[in-house]
Amino acid sequence: MGTLNILVFNWRCWLNPTIGEAEVFTHEVIKRWVEAGHNVSLFASEFPNCRRGEVVDGIRIARAGGRIRFIGKLKKYYGKYFSKESNLSQISRRCC
């Protein structure tokens, strides 16, 4: 199997101070995908004093919206940045 471009949507990322076990588990899984040579992007909600975009453990992270606006932001970002496979590798330059 070749290199995959994987996009993960998760309400919170593991850097959010209000994380739970689901975020820790998600981080461990996607970290292993990166170690296996795949390109992984994560879209998560914002939290106070967070970066809107960054790369951590080889995972490109984009954050937008909060508890109420997360789904709306997700739809907007998906259409703008994620819907075309060629854009996945460009995410860190465009929104991070």
Instruction: Provide CB contacts within 8 A for 8, sequence distance 6+.
Output: 26, 30, 40, 41, 42, 43
CA angle 18-46-36, nearest 5°?
85
10: which 2 tokens? 């998760």
Tens digits of residue pLDDT in 2-39: 888 898 988 899 999 998 999 999 999 999 999 999 99
Tell me the mean pLDDT in the region 71-78.
82
Tens digits of residue pLDDT in 34-56: 999 999 999 999 999 999 999 99
SS3 at position 42:
strand
pTM score, two decimals?
0.78
Residue 91 reports pLDDT greater than 50: no
